[in-house]
Chains A and B, each alone.
Chain A
Amino acid sequence: MALLELSGVTRRFGGLTAVNDVTFNVEAGEIFGLIGPNGAGKTTLLSCLAGDLRPNAGSVRFDGRDTTGLPADRMCRLGLGRTFQIPRPFPNLSAFENVLVAATFGDPKLHGEAVARRALEMLEYVKFPRPIDTIASHLNAAQLKRLDLARALASHPKLLLLDELAAGLTPGELTSMATLLRRIRSDGVTILMVEHVMGLILELCDRLSVLQYGELIAHGDAATVARDERVREAYLGHDYVL
């Protein structure tokens, strides 16, 4: 049984169908990539999975139960962590407090001192480079991405949704981020990542799905998808050669 099962997920905004009848499974333990051109509906789809948006049709099953339309805080406590395309920490809390909030409320099994310990561990785990009492609004983009990741991991997720984690990172930061993601996976967390940086996708992902205009146009292991004619046309352009 797959960890995450989407079947026929559809989300409309007024007359626009942002996500149309999307069906796929994410197996436990894999890194699953979701790619597609800008405006293809990737973030909308993630929001439908994370409980931020309610799908208009279709169903989402997570960890063996129907979670369609459950609110985001329930999803978080069920074991679904998420990072944002543009990191959104609590700007006036310190880095430590940011993670602490997530550990306190995201993992109902943690109590007392264990909460603070988890928060510290996670900041260490993502190699957060600044003093932990730094106020979040003083952090730069790369530091915020790590903070966002630590926050998502603090709730002890089974599945991590990453929305363009690599966007805006330098090549050096990209390499260490790839190492970190591999380590997260080997520690037993399944990853579903939306990404534009093809290098990272091809390097990390076991399987890929491609969205265009809200519909799934290709699906399979990374190499096959990258060779798919329709994908190359839709996403990579006519003459793109990998």
Chain B
Amino acid sequence: MTTAATNLRSVPLARRFLSFTWLTLGAALLVMAWAAVAQPSILIDTLVTGGMWALMAAGLAMVFGVMNIPNFAHGELFLLGSFTAFTVYSPIRDAMFNDPSLTVLKIFGPFPGMVAALLVGAVVGVLLEVVLFRPLRRRSREQWVMNTFLLTAGVSVVIVNGYRLAFGNNYHGVTRYWDVPPLEILGVPISVDRAMVLVIALVTIGLFAVFLQRTSLGRAIRAVSQDETGAQMAGIDLNRIFVLTMGLSCALAALAGAALLFLFPAYPDVGLQPLYLAWFVVILAGLGNIPGAIVGAFIVSLLQTLTAFYLRVGWVDVMPTVFIILILLFKPSGLFGSAVKGVWEQ
């Protein structure tokens, strides 16, 4: 979990802030500050989508940092989350429709679906670890990153087509979670759905950060990501940590899918865009760097929002890609560097 700050001790002050990392961060903060004054909608859009990419990317970064697995099935957890939320929310919505006086449902109706998505995500994550990765790990750790990459790509194909077989190609979505007039923040109307997405993202990321920093299990996860053998020698049962890491990461992705159901209806390929964006973020921040991924998510989202605002929506995925090409050219270890080194040789 190398952050830029921990590496700064020996670098002279002038060079410290002229680095690519700080220039990028500074530029992003400036644009956001400007947006807050001139175009508040840019700031709000950035925060809302950024929060969700942060949930996706933090889980992806954690699984890569702790288990060295490049999870290309991460988007499918987004799909499972959104479908779970749809399934749980639909009867609640119907009940509200039939009896509009149920104000409790009006306020709290969407939450059971999100909690269910969180649980489904966790269970699927645990299953993936126990059924797929653990047997592979026991057999051989040679070419681990390549093997797990292929394995997760395969899992993705299986889940997408399994879903297609079971639930068909139709869109399963909702137009809105909370049927109330939009709020007004900084003079910009913002739907309650979007505001809630931001709240959910911030609360979840906050809890996640506290979990990693302050609890003994969180400390164990960080320890394993820094030195697997050393962690085992300190009495940490690696299998438990791997199960926990995978479950947590998948739960976060599923929660993102559930919370964004009103933007992304559940359909077989819905996970693709979130998957790629999460990978953009992780590459941008540095592989396996969790705090970096959270910051990076907001940078990518800012880039997307600016693109959508000043160019066209069609360029929304192009601009982050261009930015990532630049990053890989000039700073291959990512903006914030990475604790994961030499992973491709493992």
Task: State in angstroms the CA–CA spacing of A107 and B235 once bound together.
Answer: 8
Could you say which of A92, A97, A137 has the most chain B C-beta atoms within 10 Å of its C-beta? A92
Query: What residues of A have a CB within 8 angstroms of the CB of B6 in the complex?
Result: 92, 135, 137
B223 CB–A CB distance under 8 Å: yes
Q: List 24 A-B contacts (CB under 8 A).
A: A52-B229, A52-B232, A72-B229, A73-B233, A73-B238, A76-B233, A77-B235, A92-B222, A92-B339, A93-B219, A93-B222, A93-B223, A93-B226, A97-B219, A100-B216, A101-B223, A102-B234, A102-B235, A105-B216, A105-B235, A105-B236, A106-B234, A107-B235, A138-B9
Closest 3 CB pairs of A and B: A106-B235, A76-B235, A105-B235
Complex partner residue of B231 from A90, A115, A138, CB under 8 angstroms: A90
- Chain B residues, CB < 8 A from A90: 222-223, 226-227, 230-231
Q: In the complex where A90-B226, A138-B9 touch, is A104 in contact with B220 (Cβ < 8 A)? A: yes
A89 touching B9 by the CB < 8 A rule?
no
Check A88–B339 contact: CB distance below 8 A: no
When distances are taken between beta carbons in the complex, the residues of chain A under 8 Å from B222 are 90, 92-93
> Which residues does chain B contribute within 8 Å of A72, judged by CB atoms?
229, 232-233
Q: Which of B1-48 contact A (CB under 8 A)?
A: 1-2, 6, 9
Chain B residues, CB < 8 A from A100: 216, 219
Contacts of A190 in B (CB 8 A): none
Whole-angstrom distance between the alpha carbons of A133 and B6 in the complex? 13
Interface centre among A73, A106, A107, A138 (most CB of B within 10 A): A73
* Residue of B whose beta carbon sits closest to that of A115: B216
Which size class do B's interface residues fall under?
20 to 34
Closest to A81 in B: B233
- Compute how far the CA of A105 lies from the CA of B222 in the bound complex, rounded to whole angstroms: 14
Bound-complex Cα distance A89 to B237 (A): 17
Q: Is the interface of A mostly helix, strand, loop or mixed?
A: helix
Please classify how large the interface on chain A is, using the bins under 10, 10 to 19, 20 to 34, 35 or more: 20 to 34
Q: Contact between B2 and A92 (Cβ–Cβ < 8 Å)?
A: yes
Question: Are B230 and A89 in contact, with the CB atoms below 8 A?
Answer: yes
In B203-241, the 8 Å CB interface with A consists of 216, 219-220, 222-223, 226-227, 229-238
11 new A-B contacts, CB < 8 A, other than A73-B232, A76-B232, A92-B2, are A72-B229, A73-B236, A76-B233, A88-B227, A89-B227, A90-B226, A90-B231, A92-B226, A101-B231, A104-B219, A106-B235
Q: Does A168 contact B (CB under 8 A)?
A: no
Closest to A154 in B: B234
Cα–Cα, bound, A138→B234 (Å): 21
Q: Please provide the chain A residues from 94 to 125 with a CB less than 8 Å away from any CB of chain B in the complex.
A: 97, 100-102, 104-107, 115
The dominant DSSP class at the B interface is helix
Q: Which A residues lie at the B interface, using CB under 8 A?
A: 50, 52, 71-73, 76-77, 82, 84, 88-93, 97, 100-102, 104-107, 115, 135, 137-138, 151, 155
Chain A residues positioned under 8 Å from B219 (CB to CB): 93, 97, 100-101, 104
Q: Are B226's CB and A82's CB within 8 A? A: no
Question: Chain A's nearest CB lies how many Å from the CB of B191?
Answer: 40
The reply to whether A101 and B236 contact each other, CB–CB distance below 8 Å, is yes
A155/B226 contact (C-beta < 8 A), A92-B6, A104-B220, A138-B9 known: no
Query: Known contacts A88-B229, A91-B226, A92-B226; is A101 also within 8 Å of B9 by CB?
Result: no
Q: Closest chain B residue to A52 by CB distance?
A: B229
A221: min CB distance to chain B, Å:
30
- Kindly list chain B residues whose C-beta atoms are within 8 Å of the C-beta of A105: 216, 220, 234-237
Report the Cα distance A214→B190, complex, angstroms.
Answer: 72
In the assembly, what is the distance between CA of A76 and CA of B220, in Å?
Answer: 15
With both beta carbons as reference points, the residue of chain A lying nearest to B238 in the complex is identified as A73
**Chain A residues within 8 Å of B235, by CB:** 73, 76-77, 102, 105-107, 155
B167-226 residues with Cβ-Cβ distance < 8 A to A are: 216, 219-220, 222-223, 226
**A101 in complex: contacting residue of B1, B229, B234, B237, CB < 8 Å:** B234
Q: How far is the CB of A96 from chain B (nearest CB, A)?
A: 11
Contacts of A115 in B (CB 8 A): 216
Cβ of B121 to closest chain A Cβ, rounded Å: 26
Per the bound structure, the CA–CA distance linking A37 and B233 in Å amounts to: 26
**Chain B residues, CB < 8 A from A88:** 227, 229-230
